[in-house]
Structure 1
Amino acid sequence: MTTQHQGTAVTDSIPSVSTFDLSTYLAQRQVTVESALDQSIAIVYPDKIYESMRYSLLAGGKRLRPILCLATCELVGGTTEMALPTACALEMIHTMSLIHDDLPAMDNDDYRRGKLTNHKVYGEDIAILAGDGLLAYAFEFIAAQTRGVPADRVLKVIAHLGKAVGAAGLVGGQVVDLDSEGNPNVSLETLNFIHRHKTGALLEASVVCGAILAGASELDQQRLSAYAQDIGLAFQIVDDVLDITATQEELGKTAGKDLQAQKATYPSFWGIDESKRQANQLVTDAKAQLEGFGDKALPLMAIADFITARTH
């Protein structure tokens, strides 16, 4: 049986992901995203800053945020072309956060994605400026490059993304994270706040911005936001577990940093087994939000499963 709500086909069951080839889907989307990112920033004078920006932007990674944006836009009836500038901007902002997060004043990391961190190659001064440059350029890129989308939707995307990356989102989460280091009395509520803002806000924006670009109803935006918040928290729980159980080679970054920095983590509250169970429950809840979207939801469902199955 199929019913209708807010312009979206609703089915009575969650589609099966067993026949969906996520690895092929991700590989194809990564090629699209990598090509667009490579073309997004040219090296001009002063060369050093553009080289530094490109060094981190093109350093690899899963490209999960831009792929989520593209997948959600298509889920709601939009196209890759409509969402690609925003998808690139999301990766620029994510890269900025990694560059700044790795600085000695923050997490003081030497490796990211298996390569030396930006400040280790270009110096702390240029690394800070490269992050600033990527953040500013991300919003310029959305405004200047988005085609075939009504201006009011583009404006909503810019506002939503600005909130996600600022003091109400990523920056706020990072502040509480820094304040909590070495504090043995951090509560589970505070830990949830940190990660719903520091990690979850940009993942949520990746999904919701794709939906906004395609003209999703308010109801569908809310359901997709709930999906994204759940997978965002699951993503962080798995990250915390991997920081304990994976090697540096598997992670592509320094292992055991959380323990060394005396950070509160989900395994420190729950242990490893319960942390994995909580992550699996969040993924189940996230997938339940996709019930009304039929087979078009297969990419988002498979990505949810991928989050808890990953090893790096």
Structure 2
Amino acid sequence: MDVLVKQATWEAEGVLSLVLVDPDGAELPTWTPGAHLDLHLGDRLRQYSLCGDPADRGRYRVAVLHAKESRGGSAYVHERLRPGQTVRIDGPRNHFTLEPSPRYLFVAGGIGITPILPMVRQVAAEGRDWRLVYGGRGRRSMAFHEELAGYGDRVEIVPQDERGLLDLDALLGTPGPDTLVYCCGPEPLLAAVEARCAAWPPGSLRLERFAAKPQDFGPDAPFEVVCQRSDVTVRVDPGVSIVDALEETDIWLSSACREGICGTCETRVIDGTPDHRDSLLSEEERAAGKVMLPCVSRALTKRLVLDL
């Protein structure tokens, strides 16, 4: 659908938020904390977390960091999108859902605060036990820290230029009873949090990545994909993704990021064993082998049967 850019606001140094509304004033589709939108930015498709209020059906809010190593998406938002213009969106979609828990620990780094913000709003409104630790280079670059100040000492702001890096050993060194940890931010933070949560009970950690996780895979082997509903079998050669191989036979599978981070192409596995190479599915989902992200993942068996 097309939405109107109603408002653009500087939330921090290099961080611009956009308020998006229906051009005719209609209500927008519902969403839950952790959801993101796909924005069509010229010939690019980029994912941005919703950071507004899910109860407000009249508007969406996203916040975009003008990344120095931008692949074009953030530059487009900062340099070309202005109030009064329209932009096409897909979604909302949510692969970072807020699960019920007696208590929560939120860890955010930089622009990673965006999906965490509506989570904090919800658990605070529900009277849950929670804490947020939010790190960034400096206060001037940390979006929404003034908005978060209203939660008092449940929120700890840690600007690196004032206090150094987050003390993850103190924060995560001892597993918290009945606690879910939600973390979003740059890859070094996510990797450090993952390492420290390895001693926590399985399923305690939820991560949201803005870029694919660095991973080292062995050489690719060819395999076959059987599309059960289409009654088509496709050979997937080394160096070719399942999505690309399917497109060669006119089977089109929606895939927004092609990096294994957005979940748009998630597909049910009927038979065979996936070689999971995404940065989205949980360890439990990978072990179950019932779904996969064919934009990056491959097969450990010679044949995969997919619900396509």
TM-score by length of 1: 0.25
Higher RCO structure, 1 or 2 (CA under 8 Å, sep 6+): 1
Higher CA-based Rg: 2
When you count helix as a share of all residues, which structure comes out higher? 1
When you count strand as a share of all residues, which structure comes out higher? 2
